[in-house]
Amino acid sequence: MQTIVSGEAASSGTIVAETRKELFILAGDMVGYSESVFRNPETGVRNLVASRNAFVKALKANGGRIVSTPGDFVLAAFESASDAAVASIAAQSALLENRLQDSRWRVGIAFGEVFEIDGDIYGHAVNVASRIQGVAAPGQILMSDDVVRRFPDGFSVVTESIGSKRLKNISETVHVYCVVSSKPDEYRSDFVGDIQQYRENIVKPIVEIQPFEPQDDSQSARFVASSLQDEIHLVLARLTNSISVRDTTAVARGKPHYVLRSSISARGQHLRIMPRLISVSDGATIWAERYDYDLRDSFDAQDQIASEVVSALQLALTDGEQAQIWKRGTRSGLAWETFQRGHDEERRYTREGHRRAKEFYSSALAMDPTYLCALVAFGFCYLDEVRLGWAENDEKAIHEAELLYERASRIDAGHSDVLALLAFLRFLQRKPQEAQRAMDDAVAVAGHSPEIVGYQGALMDLLGNYPAAIRAYNRAASLSHHVSPWISANLALSNLAVGRAKEAELICREVVASHPGYVRAWLALTVALMRQDKVSEALRAASRVLDLDPKFTVTEWSHGRPFADEALLAAFARDMEKAGLPS
């Protein structure tokens, strides 16, 4: 430790002591505070104070010195890496113990030399901790490798690498680790909430499109309002596996979760379109945008705005950052829409759905041969057919996927989707270490994409690391308002792999309630029910599997080796056969 006198302060006649010291810096931020205050200022502030008090109290009790607490942000300093890690876990646990689950905090921890000036702390470690906190999921604790390397031998906190990250305004990349558990033998789901909270995110979003409102009586504004609303409805109606859409005249069960409305104003040849997506439960604006439209442009401009709106809905509700990746991949609106239809079919995980998906992807590539996301999705279709036991010839299917990967890698070998495809390709080619490296690289590039993080979970399942798979699926779920059914079904299967049949059942029931045609969820539900001796219900679930996939056999399913462990695979097969599924 070194104490000096600030030269600038001394020249002004004020003596200020500066202390240089190496410390572990913790930055914490409450998620969604600004939105909650906007909805209800009194409740929002009350929740902040209660959760911040619990959070700060736990930090202090475990060796932390609170530096500042401006608003929804907390900055704390620790003398040791172990104190910082234990305190962060205690703080997150305190929120749950005090029934403050709705007040979720992100935490980042970094190590380095800092300057203490009149009780405040400045320095690179403060910046790094704040930036690491910014990439954490709600409820998650992330830390730099400088912190992890300074854990004492035998320290009970378990961490897992999530790769190197490029952080805003930080010149060098930072290798980041996620806290997994406080004991080596204890499973923790990255503090992303309990099973009930996860189940609430499984529901398929229902969006009601309200009549778009012209702000004047011009013919052009009325025409665009009507036709744009119809175009958006048409595109969403073709993506029924991810978003349910209806207009105000529809008679349907269940209230909408969101409403989409827009105002349209005209000035001469210029139109301004301002759509908004609003949450029905609390009236909060989830997304809003402004588009300027010149009537002298081609009619394609209207189609382009419709695709932008649909992509924004996917970004806000279901697919997170991945929606932007899909949208940026092509300039052809028709190729994008065709790709979306293919992706919707692929997500059904049926033989017929995969066949149609390949047709759509092929059509999208005919419109835009350089559409990278379509190339990757086409390649995944072939690999999934091998994994699901549907391929007539495994070697041929893997070869086709390799050719599509090569085309995509020539466009951008470092693209997250391309790296994810490479990971599964190398796994099926029996190169697990190369598969792991490629997936780590994909997550490092697009760690906020639910799709990419979900892929990471799927690869962990195939490699036999089921707790890591569960953590990845939970993190993927935290990155969007509504979880994709394939991520949820995979999470259920992973829970079964670690002996959590009840949790798997609860997840599957939510999935089939919103996605009754999703066969993988029915399959996982069959096994979950058998393992709880709910035989009659398991038989009904197995019957539903055969209704959706009449060609299903246990042997075919096992051929794809969804689990690395032979004993585990055999146990799944026995449960399926006991429920009446053909061997």
Other Cβ atoms closer than 10 A to 463: 17
- Cβ–Cβ under 8 Å, residues 379 and 408: yes
* Range with the poorest average pLDDT among 94-98, 104-108, 300-304: 300-304
CA distance 261 to 280: 12
pLDDT at 514 over 70: yes
143 forms beta bridges with 109, 177
- Average pLDDT for the chain: 81
What percentage of the chain exceeds 70 in pLDDT? Answer: 76
pLDDT, average across residues 289-313: 65
The DSSP letter of residue 100 is: -
pLDDT, average across residues 126-141: 86
CA distance 94 to 493: 30
* Range with the poorest average pLDDT among 54-63, 67-76, 234-243: 234-243
CA angle 321, 326, 330 (to 5 degrees): 140
> Which tokens in the block code for residue 465?
């690391």
> What does the pLDDT look like over 340-367, one tens digit per residue?
788 888 877 888 888 999 999 999 999 9
Q: How far apart are the first and last CA of the chain?
A: 70
pLDDT, average across residues 187-199: 43
Residue type, 244: S
- Cβ–Cβ under 8 Å, residues 67 and 119: yes
CA angle 43, 44, 45 (to 5 degrees): 95
Residue type, 241: N
Better pLDDT: 196 or 477: 477
Q: What is the dihedral sign for C-alpha 130, 135, 141, 143?
A: negative
> Phi, psi at residue 350, to the nearest 5°?
-120, 160
- Cβ–Cβ under 8 Å, residues 521 and 485: yes
Antiparallel, parallel or unpaired: β 141-144 and 206-209: unpaired
- Cβ–Cβ under 8 Å, residues 232 and 306: yes
Q: What are the boundaries of each domain within the chain?
A: 2-193, 206-318, 319-436
Give the per-residue pLDDT at 5. Answer: 44
Give the pLDDT band of residue 9 (cuts 50, 70, 90): very low
How far, in Å, are 46, 57, 545 from residue 74 at the CA level?
16, 12, 50
pLDDT at 513 over 50: yes
pLDDT, average across residues 470-490: 83
> What does the pLDDT look like over 249-283, one tens digit per residue?
554 556 777 788 787 777 776 777 788 878 776 66
CATH T-level fold of 319-436: 1.25.40
Indicate the CATH number of 2-193 among 3.40.50.11540, 1.10.1380.10, 1.10.3720.10, 3.30.70.1230: 3.30.70.1230
The DSSP letter of residue 315 is: I
pLDDT, average across residues 498-523: 90
CA distance 452 to 473: 10
pLDDT, average across residues 96-105: 66
* Range with the poorest average pLDDT among 200-204, 275-279, 350-354, 550-554: 200-204
> Phi, psi at residue 448, to the nearest 5°?
-105, 10
Q: What is the dihedral sign for C-alpha 44, 312, 472, 413?
A: negative
CATH T-level fold of 206-318: Rossmann fold (3.40.50)
pLDDT at 183 over 50: no
